[in-house]
A = this chain, B = another copy of it.
């Protein structure tokens, strides 16, 4: 029972980016949860109540340490930079945005610094016209730490796939079964690659936190995100689990539903179509060309399969380089590393009518295409988002890139979304 509750909590926090909260939960004061206050994982050994392990990493406040130490908890695979290439130097033009005041959307005036603290931010950077105008780290995280992206990973995966489509290496209209015979009898079998990329493949995926045989647990256990309980009899690996999802939830292509498993299928398709490991391809086509400071990495399942729906980790500045590359339509660090057409297609967004009712009510009027959110705001800003407050925001008109790593107590970004949008608007306006 206790164990059930523990897994329930952890998994809820981990996997639910979709369920909106109707009211703001009671949260600990952010200033009480800085790492210097918490003293997590300090000492040799750390005291038992300060010990973060794979079994407890996502119980707040442990994420404040864990979300930038994931490889110490789970197996991982590197996404190599080019060891002989120069780092792409970032130019700085500090604009002191921390003191910028704005209405957080609830009638309260706040500053960027306060908003960052109140949303449990670990690291935050703003680039304007390619120059860093603001960069800050919470105590306990630094510019060399690799933070987990959670579902921002999906957008990296989606970009890789969209680029393969433009290169003619991937047919968006082919069926999943064409590339992944193992999924022939699954719910994905007759879905198209594009439907999976847009999360409109209609797959029944049960998220019942009271039922240990529920799909959400089988995903967490089979992928290694949660330690397998004693006497676990479910799928041993991510691929086995994906193939076990055989029930469709409707007709493919009609309705967006936010499901991490869709992104995992995208990566499986990428590997089958390219014959390459996802991380190797990502290194070859993007990471080795970005002028990255450090290798990135991705968590892998017990059979070595990269968790392309949420397992990527990178430093703040390297992810900013990636985002800036997207803002510049694939041209960065002296070369066109991703097809311009692929990125232009992503910027166009998806069908808003299909997005509605997909569980992300706080993103009303938006769409999801190739694993990116198109906000359809006045500037056509693009977003990537992950639980616990991970974000890339790209505003093409304001020539703005924002990256935020956080370890918010709550997984869903639904009730921080209003203040985050207000902060982004204020920053955008201040930089005009």
List the interface of chain A (C-beta within 8 A of B): 41, 44-46, 51-54, 69, 71-78, 80, 83-84, 87, 144, 146, 182, 230, 237, 239, 268, 271-272, 293-295, 300, 302-305
Contacts and interface: CB of A to CB of B under 8 A. Distances in A.
A84 B83 contact: no
A4 to B, nearest CB: 19
Contacts of A72: 75-77, 300, 304
19 contacts: A41-B304, A44-B305, A45-B182, A45-B239, A45-B303, A51-B303, A53-B303, A54-B75, A71-B77, A71-B78, A72-B75, A72-B77, A72-B300, A74-B75, A78-B146, A80-B144, A83-B294, A294-B295, A295-B295
Nearest to A71: B76
B237 A271 contact: no
Contacts of A73: 75, 304
**Nearest 3 interchain pairs by C-beta:** A83-B293, A44-B271, A45-B239
B304 A80 contact: no
Nearest to A230: B230
A409 B69 CA distance: 34
A272 B44 contact: yes
A197 B308 CA distance: 43
Contact of A302 (B41, B54, B75, B77): B54
Contact of A53 (B52, B268, B302): B302
Contacts of A76: 71-72, 75-76
Contacts of A268: 44
B44 A304 contact: no
Contacts of A44: 239, 268, 271-272, 305
Contacts of A53: 302-304
Contacts of A230: 230
Given A51-B303, A69-B304, A80-B294, 6 more contacts: A44-B239, A71-B77, A71-B78, A75-B76, A83-B144, A84-B87
